Chains A and B, each alone.
Chain A
Amino acid sequence: MDILSLTVGQEIGSRTFHFTRDSLVKYAGASGDFNPIHYRDDFAQSVGLDGVLAHGMLTMGAAVQAAVDWVGDSGKVIDYGVRFTKPVFVPADTGAEVSVTGKIGAIDIENKTVRVDLSASCVEVAVLGKAQAVVKF
């Protein structure tokens, strides 16, 4: 892919993720974040939440896959930041669907980098803010 062929605003593709309680348990083990709000409804409710919610870092880690798929090499993502704006509740029976789309936000020809702006939503509500991944070309 040639950086000169890209344009700001261009869509880079999308990914949809189905988060289940299994996904949360796998992410807890993989990351070492065993906060019980991510797998126990009784505990989540005891701290004032409606129920179990996904790790923000799971949503962040999954969302960037849209950019990784586009560039084909995860090692080319040199800078990635997000703001956690809304929780993703994951009911035990249905799970939750998180949709991610990305488009090119900026192109820096001199430094050979492209900023991909990601949007992640669950039931039409944005769950990440200012999700930006800088890709090295």
Chain B
Amino acid sequence: MVNPNVQGKKYPETEPYLVGREKIREFAKAVFSTNPINLDVFAAQAAGYTDLVAPPTFAVVIQERSLNAVLSDPEADIDFSRVVHGDQRFVASRAIVAGDELTSVLTVASVKSLGAHSMITFNTEIFDAKKELVSTAISTLVVRGGE
């Protein structure tokens, strides 16, 4: 069982992540994007962006880094081999573009039990170098209880 006392716990800001053009291209191809602004710098600039635009789910790369802090936190006591992704949402203030330097702060929004299972919801707020909010990633993991 996930420790219910971690509800409300805020984890330290992650180190800056520099969004690279090639990472955006790699991610865009992996999710089968054919949108030119994800793949072609000139197309992105013609559409009014400073550089390549990351696909809508790219923020998961940043979320993954902040989640590692919780998954390795002995206080939270999460058995990663029993984790199933329940749901996921991204709320964007603006699109992530190549050249962004992003940090994130993760908060445990809730811990609930559902029979033998636990459901833990995280909010990862992602900020740019000016400390302005770029995106919030909201993720619920289901941790299956023992058989």
Contacts and interface: CB of A to CB of B under 8 A. Distances in A.
Interface string B72-109: 00000000010011111111101100000000000000
Contacts of A15: 32
A81 B87 CA distance: 7
Nearest to A47: B81
Contact of B57 (A60, A69, A72): A60
Contacts of A57: 57, 60, 85, 88
Given A33-B64, A75-B53, A17 B32 contact: yes
Interface in B17-56: 23, 26-27, 29-35, 37-38, 47, 49, 53-56
A65 B81 contact: no
B35 A79 contact: no
A30 B89 contact: no
By size class, the interface of chain B is: 35 or more
Interface in A47-79: 47, 56-58, 60-62, 64-65, 68-69, 72-75, 77-79
Interface residues of A, number: 35
B92 A77 contact: yes
A114 to B, nearest CB: 15
A80 B86 contact: no
B42 to A, nearest CB: 15
Contact of B92 (A58, A60, A78): A78
Given A58-B30, A65-B34, A83 B86 contact: yes
- In order of increasing CB-CB distance, the 3 nearest A-B pairs are A81-B89, A61-B31, A75-B95
